[in-house]
Chain A
Amino acid sequence: MFARRKPGFPSGFAEQGVAHEPACHALRPCATDADPGKRKLNIPIDYAASSYLAQTSQAAFKNHELPASLRTSSKTKRMNLFQAINDALATILETDEKACIFGEDVAFGGVFRCTMGLTERFGSERVFNTPLTEQGIIGFAIGMSAQGHTALPEIQFADYLFPSFDQLHNEASKMRYRTASAKAFNSGHFVVRMPTGAVGHGALYHSQSPEGFFAGTQGLRVIIPRGPIQAKGLLIAAARGPDPVVFMEPKLLYRAAVEEVPVGEYELPIDTAEVLQRGKHITLVSWGAMVYVCEVAARAAKERLGVDVEVIDLRAIRPWDKATVKDSVDKTGRCVVVHEASRTGGIGEGIAAEIQERSFLKLEAPVQRVTGWDVHVPLIFENFMIPDVASKFP
């Protein structure tokens, strides 16, 4: 099992037919009768122009969540999402000798290259392939973590999570509660990473966004980063944290989202939302790949309607930062929650209900949701399935 493997898939394998077309999904007209004027809004997302990604070093260090020491002294490096995740994993392995990465084909770099070069660097005792056994992988990780290891299992696609769902929902999440916080049983230092979301042609089993299934799981943290800087800081913090974490990486962004990432180690808070842009008329709450669609919609709203949009990146999906969202909605009086997962059973349901309860008297309109359809992800209609700019346009 620990024998050194032949490294390196060429880039083609890593792509698995994904991620090279930036936001192709935002291109297509939506399936319903959005008026043609609105449809014109669905142009491809230009990530290089996004203000939600640090296009320069200065922009990167404007982030006040970064530790002051880093902001004054450190350099940045241009990275895409998978490179930043790779950087974070390397940092974790470097600073924590009990940290191990394992999963299907991770020793070769993984389908999306996130673990590229780590076996060579840290040895096959610490970065190793597992058989095809999702339930086994997660149970195994829980056992390691209980022994004080830092377990970093990978599930190859979020769609394959379900065989391991019992281990996450019933075992990992309840470990502390059912052992009466017995000190001998660690349940943190445990991050299961998985690529999530649609890319345009993944179809029924490779494009789902299953974060909503964790809505009823207490004790787990669910995190979805929107870009390289965030992914690195959140992943390092998650691995060092005391709770089990599900870390879902929007696969559309692996190559598309590129920014200047601080060199060296840093953590970002895994329990708060981040306000991406301030506005006074309406609050958009989103996460992952959808925040860029929100950005374009917000710009269009400003230009066409003079509407000033506040955009919040939730990033911590479970538990989520109710205070930040409430403060914003109390100010704007309007809120739209945007996510890629189906409407029913999506995280937006809980957020909408919570806002209604907390900010009812401040609301000028019912909380709206723009989500995926309540339909399995069909191959030929995948591009229509995803919220686009027009569908968010007021």
Chain B
Amino acid sequence: MLSRTLRSARWAAPLRVTANSYATARRTVTTDAASAHAEKSAVPAEDDKQFTVSLSPESFENYKIDGPSTELSVSKNELKEMYLNMVTIRRMEMAADKLYKEKKIRGFCHLSTGQEAVAVGIERAITPEDQVITAYRCHGFALMRGASVKSIIGELLGRRDGIAFGKGGSMHMFCKGFYGGNGIVGAQVPVGAGIGFAMKYMGRKNTTFALYGDGASNQGQVFEAYNMAKLWDIPVIFACENNKYGMGTAANRSSALTEYYKRGQYIPGLKVNGMDVLAVKQASAWAKEYTTSGAGPMVMEFVTYRYGGHSMSDPGTTYRTREEVQRMRSTQDPIQGLKQKILDWGIVSEEDIKALEKQAKQMVDKEVKEAEEAPFPESSPGNLFEDIYVPGSEPDFMKGRTLEETHYYSKKA
């Protein structure tokens, strides 16, 4: 369904790249979350032993590269962990949704329900030394990069225990190897190229995922970043999460070329089934390998879907049909898809699934409760003025609303 819409927009493509194109017959990436295949008999008894899973031949589309193999090696443990991760993200997003509706979270809040496979699949393909930067739809990425549910929900609730002391809110989360959480659409993309350059400069075999949306892909900065990255062969993966809409505007109404993976023109591209966590992992691992080999950047496109509205105040049903949302939810869900596969392959029983789901629920519930119980920050000038400059490097004072409110840094508040 999703792919059909994208295809119908192709007539608008101004250019067809043919030279140097390794792309063979035009294929369409599936968004089937349960399209991988494994022989039950090939599944080993041991939890940590690798075995082979075949991804759907429609998992990827390549541009100017051969692309990854559809044969993926995983272990049972890893599959269970992926399942647990995706369920945890969804639970956390649902908790945020509830807190928002209870008016405990205010302001902007963008949920990634439906897009969990992207954050989880990428994380399974990289190490803590690799880097990730994204836009404001960032809760899942923050969690995968090591932030706790408490620190994420605490941030939404504006608590001192929040990951940015409650000062940033939903859009601004940072932790080791994760550069946010960015509110200005597109601004994170050249930042990602700079992070990638540093990897290369330091001689590290690490890559950077610079994520952005289908809407963001039209910002000029994105193209400026592409050029720098290719010019200097920077290990950066420009990863477009194509969830079909930028706010209320459908991709084909904002983008002259909706094949986002080809938008690097002179940069190889890879389009991926973003609803299948296994395909995401395989493609991301391949892209990491490619970008750290010295070959330069890569453009990726994860075909995915957001179930909810753009943000909490958008019901998400005026610019797309309820049927469309329902169809994606019921037939292409990344969590249901993986669940079906690991049940089919005999990796888990129904009881195991329940246990994993309970584990996620209990963890999220506990941390959400702790976040809610955490105190609000004291509204002191000390809290207000901290972190504008590095302690010790600040000016002697900074100004408040009136002269009397001038804050002197030395006079510890």
Task: Say how far A367's CB is from chain B's closest CB, in angstroms.
Answer: 12
- Interface segment, one of B61-69, B279-287, B314-322: B314-322
Q: Bound complex: CA of A136 vs CA of B217, how far in Å?
A: 13
Chain B residues with CB below 8 A from A108, complex form: 248, 318-319
Q: Is the beta-carbon distance between B311 and A380 smaller than 8 angstroms?
A: no
Q: Is the beta-carbon distance between B215 and A370 smaller than 8 angstroms?
A: no
Q: Is the beta-carbon distance between A16 and B311 smaller than 8 angstroms?
A: yes
Q: Bound complex: CA of A375 vs CA of B384, how far in Å?
A: 7
Q: Is the beta-carbon distance between B219 and A204 smaller than 8 angstroms?
A: no
Q: Is the beta-carbon distance between B404 and A32 smaller than 8 angstroms?
A: yes
The size of the chain A interface, using a CB distance under 8 A, is 54
A135 within 8 A of B: yes
A-B contact count (CB 8 A): 165
Q: Mark B294-311, 1 if CB is under 8 A from A, else 0.
A: 000000000000000101
Which residue of chain B has its CB nearest to the CB of A392? Answer: B402
Q: Bound complex: CA of A369 vs CA of B106, how far in Å?
A: 30
The verdict on A373 contacting B248 (CB below 8 Å), with A131-B218, A344-B399 known, is no
Residues of chain B from 151 to 197 with CB closer than 8 A to chain A in the complex: 158-159, 165-169, 171-172, 183-187
Which residue of chain B has its CB nearest to the CB of A16? Answer: B313
The verdict on A379 contacting B401 (CB below 8 Å), with A10-B318, A104-B247, A132-B185 known, is no
Q: Bound complex: CA of A122 vs CA of B313, how far in Å?
A: 28
Q: Bound complex: CA of A368 vs CA of B314, how far in Å?
A: 42
Q: Bound complex: CA of A160 vs CA of B215, how far in Å?
A: 15
The verdict on A373 contacting B318 (CB below 8 Å), with A17-B311, A105-B249, A132-B254 known, is no
Q: Bound complex: CA of A32 vs CA of B403, how far in Å?
A: 12
Chain B residues with CB below 8 A from A362, complex form: none
Q: Is the beta-carbon distance between A375 and B166 smaller than 8 angstroms?
A: no
Q: Is the beta-carbon distance between B183 and A204 smaller than 8 angstroms?
A: yes
- Interface segment, one of A195-203, A219-227, A236-244, A263-271: A195-203
Which residue of chain B has its CB nearest to the CB of A33? Answer: B404
Q: Is the beta-carbon distance between B380 and A31 smaller than 8 angstroms?
A: yes
Task: Say how far A28's CB is from chain B's closest CB, in angstroms.
Answer: 8
Residues of chain B from 37 to 93 with CB closer than 8 A to chain A in the complex: none
Q: Is the beta-carbon distance between B402 and A380 smaller than 8 angstroms?
A: no
B396 within 8 A of A: no
Q: Is the beta-carbon distance between B401 and A371 smaller than 8 angstroms?
A: yes
Chain A residues with CB below 8 A from B107, complex form: 17, 201-203, 206, 379
Chain A residues with CB below 8 A from B358, complex form: none
Residues of chain A from 1 to 31 with CB closer than 8 A to chain B in the complex: 1, 3, 5-6, 8-10, 12-13, 15-17, 30-31
Task: Say how far A376's CB is from chain B's closest CB, in angstroms.
Answer: 7
Chain B residues with CB below 8 A from A104, complex form: 247, 249
Q: Is the beta-carbon distance between B318 and A13 smaller than 8 angstroms?
A: yes
Q: Is the beta-carbon distance between A343 and B220 smaller than 8 angstroms?
A: no
The verdict on A9 contacting B221 (CB below 8 Å), with A131-B254, A368-B402, A375-B388 known, is no
Picked from B165, B220, B309, the residue with its CB within 8 Å of the CB of A133 is B220
A173 within 8 A of B: no
The verdict on A32 contacting B166 (CB below 8 Å), with A132-B218, A373-B399 known, is no
Q: Which range holds the interface residue count of chain B?
A: 35 or more
A381 within 8 A of B: yes
Q: Is the beta-carbon distance between B401 and A387 smaller than 8 angstroms?
A: yes
Q: Is the beta-carbon distance between A379 and B167 smaller than 8 angstroms?
A: yes
Interface centre among B165, B221, B405 (most CB of A within 10 A): B405
Chain A residues with CB below 8 A from B384, complex form: 31, 373, 375, 378, 381, 384
Which residue of chain A has its CB nearest to the CB of B387? Answer: A376
Chain B residues with CB below 8 A from A133, complex form: 218-220
Picked from A9, A368, A379, A387, the residue with its CB within 8 Å of the CB of B168 is A379
Picked from B108, B218, B398, the residue with its CB within 8 Å of the CB of A203 is B108
Interface centre among A8, A131, A202, A368 (most CB of B within 10 A): A131
Which residue of chain A has its CB nearest to the CB of B166? Answer: A380
The verdict on A200 contacting B184 (CB below 8 Å), with A31-B381, A129-B253 known, is no
A372 within 8 A of B: yes
Q: Is the beta-carbon distance between A31 and B311 smaller than 8 angstroms?
A: no
B237 within 8 A of A: no
Q: Bound complex: CA of A131 vs CA of B118, how far in Å?
A: 24
Chain A residues with CB below 8 A from B187, complex form: 163
Q: Bound complex: CA of A5 vs CA of B252, how far in Å?
A: 12
Interface centre among B185, B219, B313, B385 (most CB of A within 10 A): B313
Residues of chain A from 86 to 105 with CB closer than 8 A to chain B in the complex: 104-105
Q: Bound complex: CA of A202 vs CA of B313, how far in Å?
A: 13
Q: Bound complex: CA of A334 vs CA of B75, how far in Å?
A: 77
A374 within 8 A of B: yes
Which residue of chain A has its CB nearest to the CB of B212? Answer: A132
Q: Bound complex: CA of A248 vs CA of B379, how far in Å?
A: 30
A76 within 8 A of B: no
Q: Is the beta-carbon distance between B167 and A380 smaller than 8 angstroms?
A: yes
A177 within 8 A of B: no
Q: Is the beta-carbon distance between A202 and B401 smaller than 8 angstroms?
A: no
Known A17-B312, A369-B402; 13 more pairs at CB < 8 Å: A5-B253, A6-B318, A9-B314, A13-B313, A32-B381, A32-B405, A163-B184, A203-B168, A204-B167, A344-B399, A374-B398, A380-B376, A387-B401
The 10 sampled A-B contact pairs (Cβ below 8 Å) are A9-B248, A12-B313, A31-B381, A108-B318, A131-B218, A132-B215, A136-B220, A204-B183, A343-B401, A381-B384
